[in-house]
Structure 1
Amino acid sequence: MKRTDPAHDITVYERNPAGSTYGWGVTYWDELLSNLYFADPESAQIVRENSIRWDSWVAYIHERATVTANDSDVGYGIGRHQLLAILAERARSLGVRIEYEHEITHEDELAGADLIVAGDGINSTLRERHATHFGTQTTLGRNKYMWLGTTKAFDSFLFAFVETDHGWIWCYGYPYSHDHSTGVIECSPETWKGLGLHQTHEADSLALLEKLFADILDGHPLLGRALNDGSAHWLNFRTLTNRTWHRGNLALVGDAAHTTHYSIGAGTALALGDAAFLAHSLYQDDRLEAALARYDRRRRAEIRRIQRAAHYSAQWYENLPRYMDLSPLEMFTLLGKRHSRLLPHIPPRLYYQVGHAIERLPSPGVFRRGSKAR
């Protein structure tokens, strides 16, 4: 918005200290760069130059096989601290004020503002004050997961599935620098309890996980963030939706408006997409209510489609044993099809066979009445 009209007076209020963030790396795809190039090409170029790029996917299936898909969709990784630093510096260079360690808990603190954009996360204080108006709903996922880092720099996006006496546990991993990667560990609640992870402190949890995933870590440690009592930071994913994304001069963006399961790696891209769409709506219509209504209607419809795909992706992992009796190639193929709304209702092997049969069909030609089929 500042780039579009330098006369805008914009302040960003950040609750955390400068340089502080939770998490390790951000994974993203071309969509994020496209949105950022549209909104601010200078930021997009710097982000791309500081990102790690990969074009292959690897699945390690414990003691069975390793499956690799080359020439897949290009993915990128960048450290969260680095991404925030790039965006903050760009904002300041355009004349945007950034005030750190300043949390906004009530709109009255910003009296006189034409527009308040709440990007304060899934636990948004500004949204929760009007939860009935926004129609906020949260659905809790079944599986347990923990967000970790590692000093092992993976060279592709990887999935690692390990079978234990208590069921399967798996890792999503991707590099975000030349010497660090992110690793998200996930398992069913039964496996989590069977391994004793529900009652171990973080250090013991990490030690066990390092043993289970030794094949992909190559001796590198896992890095975590213990809670105040030293326990491990295990979570259940919360899918958040809202019936509307605006109220008066308040608009929601990012996780304050919606969440999508981490298995599709879209959270940051969608947040930046929200911001770009909102800025474009405000540029096209200087009537605030009309601009916010347009943003709400059109962007929310797009996010619903992505949330459905994320729901099926999460469901695929929640029903992982359904797919683990397949051959490694079949399992890996259906891993790539996990966004399908049909897959949960069709026997996996049949779905795989039908999919391959369709792919082998010749491209349809043009057939006109009275002509010969060719």
Structure 2
Amino acid sequence: MRVKVVCVGGGPAGLYLAILLKRQDPSHDVTVHERNPEGRTYGWGVTYWRGLLDKLRAYDPETARAIEAHSVRWTDGVARVRGLTTRHRGDEGFGIGRHRLLDLLAGRARALGVRLEFESEPTEPPAGADLVVAADGVHSALRGGAADRFGTRVTTGRNPYIWLGTTKVFDAFTFAFTETEHGWIWAYGYAYSGDHSTCVVECSPETCAGLGLDRAGEGEGLALLEKLFADVLDGHPLIARSGASWQPFRTLTNRAWHHGNLVLLGDAAHTTHYSIGAGTTLALEDAMCLADALRAHTGLPEALAAYERRRRAALLSAQSAARYSAQWYENLPRYIHLPPHRMFALLGQRHSPLLPYVPPQLYYGLDRAAGRLEALRRLKRWLGPRAARALHARATSRRS
């Protein structure tokens, strides 16, 4: 059956959903509205992992091939603390420029017959559409117009951060920790092309204020950060997009993800802390799940309910990991004085719901033992999802 779909928001979630719907049925009438001019976007590069690439291949091999061909990859993680460097082999990761990713998705959508309307931002659900998709980000105008229906809740994190770029091309996912007289400041760096990397810098509010970063001009702030991270930047500059500023991360949740024929997708529905590098992956997986639900159910209410139910369940582990990851950095003094190889090992375990309650040295020893004992490995795998479900149930009961 031919349906008319209007998607507001031309980010990864909205564009990929449009691609999947046109692949399912070329007769569908699909339009994507994007507030920005074509070719303009925020941010630098995005990360993803092998698991997402496998899913992309299953849903649309052509898109998967294009994304992989324009991505850089790494397998190592590097941490630098007090002039010491430790390197660990990890899972295969990928980086791609956000601009490049959107260009590839837009090109594929156009080739399939999707209409793309740039510099267009409907603030109310367009009339005449069978389905309206709010993929317009954390500040979604469509969701805001029915805020009481969706039950939007925003939690502000403690640490401020700033999203920057650099011409330094990192050969691994790099963590750099620098001690100042006002406390620790750290950066996450990863390549996304042959000549640029993303560099996210974070610190405590006290360190940000003590260093004057919260009131410094752009040039002054970048110069100070370049000095603090000179050992990892190797003389390369840091680059700021227009409007880049220090701000705390906002975690957004919604009590409901759909109302009538309006459904939330990607950051309009949920956000997870940037330190787990999952935002783009979760947005694309939202699109996959919604497309599957619309194909499997003939009735729109049933399809949207199935989508919301499945994605809420799938997001539990990622949301738990993001929550504990953010808390790990907020409590960095608890771990930073460990020997670098031990600190980096616990950095890799920052998603664990047990770590905040076990002395770091003891946890490190238990984790080493768990690597050798299958029974303990099974216990860790068993505890993780159950802790996430228990926290979700507790949060839900508090809201109700």
Instruction: Give runs of aligned pairs for residues 247-286 of structure 1, distance below 5 A.
Output: 247-286=259-298
Instruction: After TM superposition, give the deviation of residue 271 of structure 1 in Å.
Output: 0.3
The answer (yes or no) to whether the contact 1:51–1:78 under 8 Å persists in 2 is yes
Instruction: After TM superposition, give the deviation of residue 358 of structure 1 in Å.
Output: 2.7
% identical equivalent positions? 62
Q: Which has the higher helix share?
A: 2
How many equivalent residue pairs? 356
C-alpha root-mean-square deviation of aligned residues, in Å?
1.2
Instruction: After TM superposition, give the deviation of residue 194 of structure 1 in Å.
Output: 0.8
Instruction: Give runs of aligned pairs for residues 247-326 of structure 1, distance below 5 A.
Output: 247-326=259-338
Supply the AA of the counterpart residue of 1:180.
Answer: H
2-side partners of 1:224 and 1:257: how far apart?
Answer: 28
Give the corresponding residue for 2:104. Answer: 86
TM-score by length of 2: 0.87
SS at match of 2:24: coil
Give the corresponding residue for 1:74. Answer: 92
The answer (yes or no) to whether the contact 1:36–1:43 under 8 Å persists in 2 is yes
Give the corresponding residue for 2:70. Answer: 50
2-side partners of 1:224 and 1:235: how far apart?
Answer: 14
Q: Which has the larger radius of gyration?
A: 1
TM-score by length of 1: 0.93
**Cα–Cα, structure 1 residues 11 and 57, in superposed 2: closer, same or farther, change >3 Å?**
same
Give the corresponding residue for 1:211. Answer: 227
Supply the AA of the counterpart residue of 1:348.
Answer: P
2-side partners of 1:16 and 1:80: how far apart?
Answer: 14
1-side partners of 2:273 and 2:215: how far apart?
Answer: 25
Supply the AA of the counterpart residue of 1:187.
Answer: C
Structure 1 unaligned segments of length 5 or more: list them: 365-374
Give the corresponding residue for 2:123. Answer: 105
Supply the AA of the counterpart residue of 1:171.
Answer: A
The answer (yes or no) to whether the contact 1:32–1:270 under 8 Å persists in 2 is no
Instruction: Determine if the alignment matches structure 1 residue 245 to structure 2 residue 257.
Output: yes
Give the corresponding residue for 1:370. Answer: none
SS at match of 1:56: strand
The answer (yes or no) to whether the contact 1:35–1:272 under 8 Å persists in 2 is no
1-side partners of 2:316 and 2:85: how far apart?
Answer: 34
SS at match of 2:371: helix
The C-alpha deviation readout for 1:15-39, integer Å capped at 9, x for no partner, is 1000000111111112321332232
2-side partners of 1:43 and 1:302: how far apart?
Answer: 23
Mean Cα deviation higher: 114-123 or 355-364: 355-364
The answer (yes or no) to whether the contact 1:55–1:75 under 8 Å persists in 2 is yes
Supply the AA of the counterpart residue of 2:118.
Answer: Y
2-side partners of 1:308 and 1:331: how far apart?
Answer: 21
Supply the AA of the counterpart residue of 1:330.
Answer: R
Give the corresponding residue for 2:59. Answer: 39
Aligned residue among 104, 114, 118 for 1:96: 114
Give the corresponding residue for 1:4. Answer: 24
The answer (yes or no) to whether the contact 1:225–1:233 under 8 Å persists in 2 is no
SS at match of 1:10: strand
**Cα–Cα, structure 1 residues 59 and 112, in superposed 2: closer, same or farther, change >3 Å?**
same
Instruction: Determine if the alignment matches structure 1 residue 223 to structure 2 residue 239.
Output: yes
2-side partners of 1:238 and 1:362: how far apart?
Answer: 38
Supply the AA of the counterpart residue of 1:261.
Answer: H
SS at match of 1:329: helix
2-side partners of 1:170 and 1:5: how far apart?
Answer: 48
Instruction: Give runs of aligned pairs for residues 6-25 of structure 1, distance below 5 A.
Output: 6-25=26-45
Supply the AA of the counterpart residue of 2:180.
Answer: T
Instruction: Determine if the alignment matches structure 1 residue 355 to structure 2 residue 367.
Output: yes
SS at match of 1:7: coil
